Structure 1
Amino acid sequence: MSTTVTDEQIQALAATAEPFTLVLLHWAPGRIVADADAIELEHQRRMVTLRADGVIAVLCPVASDTVAGVAIMTVPAEEASGLMAEDPCVRAGMMRCEVYPCHGFPGDALPL
């Protein structure tokens, strides 16, 4: 790290923080169920739809045997919990999710 950041820069950035919700999806021991591929496709369709509708700001599938994905949602944690409880993979016991309130900074984005 070669950039020097001042206390004032930290405070200025912190003042711009906006509320978001972090969703962590983990593969569950019950990942292998009848029709798992079809259920996972519906999960993917739902997540991409939530992204298209602006409910998910950042969607990151994870290539792992334990972590399935990460999403940053624009809705409060309680609403995100409700949405994820209805997820096809969560309902089928293929995934479990953790939901955390968090903050983000306007303008942050994944590099192209």
Structure 2
Amino acid sequence: MKKVIVSLVFCVSLLFSAEFYTYEEALEIQKTSSKIIMIDVVRDNCRYCILMDKLLEDREFSSWIAERFIPVKINIEHDKIDLKLDVKMTPTFYFLDKNQKILKMIPGSWSKEDFKDLTKNIKGE
């Protein structure tokens, strides 16, 4: 019974966490959307990346992200993309317009309120 409950809780948490796309998928979606691409750059065993992942699992916050951005997660130890990002620390968030121009870069781990405040005025062309 305990295993069933743990499995159920895990499945429900997956339903409410942010859906991340590949960079290529995000570029396709952006062609027909007014949303900005948000790239979450992480690495393995990054304590602050894990903290932000937990925040992105929050139902209300992940909905807020999905309304405004096309979220992409890139692990710099495993994933390769055709974009020059100057990553000095993880996590780092990059926000890109339709021309793949970086509109804003936000390094570090943040509270829900601070992250919303830092990103609320990001606008594309």
TM-score where L is the length of structure 2: 0.29
The structure whose residues are more often strand, as a share, is 1
Query: Which has the higher Rg, Structure 1 or Structure 2?
Result: 1
Q: Does 1 or 2 have the higher relative contact order (CA < 8 Å, sep 6+)?
A: 1
